[in-house]
Amino acid sequence: MDIEVFPHRVLGADTTENLLNGIEGLDDVKRTIIQGPRLPPEDTNEDPKYHDRRRITVNGKELELKVKTGRIFARGQNADKSGKPHRSPLAPGGRRGTGGL
């Protein structure tokens, strides 16, 4: 099963980290991809509180965030052919991929 999350605006580093940890914490998620505009290289003159190109920790692994998150694609390992929506802690009513974050 493929899930696409498309927020109304691009997400900051903290929100991306929290959301990815929630998605990666689900048992049936096999792969997660984020897409969005590329962040500029690190600028030493920039105020650190506005600097989103940084290292984030997702599922215990540290990685460098190089894009502003505009979309998230998640692939589940088990596709349910019954057509029933899956229960998820990420969205109200257990519906995934409904956006509106």
Could you list the pLDDT tens digit for every one of the 101 residues in the chain? 788 988 899 998 999 999 999 998 888 888 999 999 988 777 777 766 567 788 999 989 999 999 999 999 999 886 555 555 555 555 554 444 444 44
pTM of the model: 0.68
Measured distance CA(42)–CA(64) in Å, rounded: 12
| pLDDT score for 75 | 92
| pLDDT score for 17 | 94
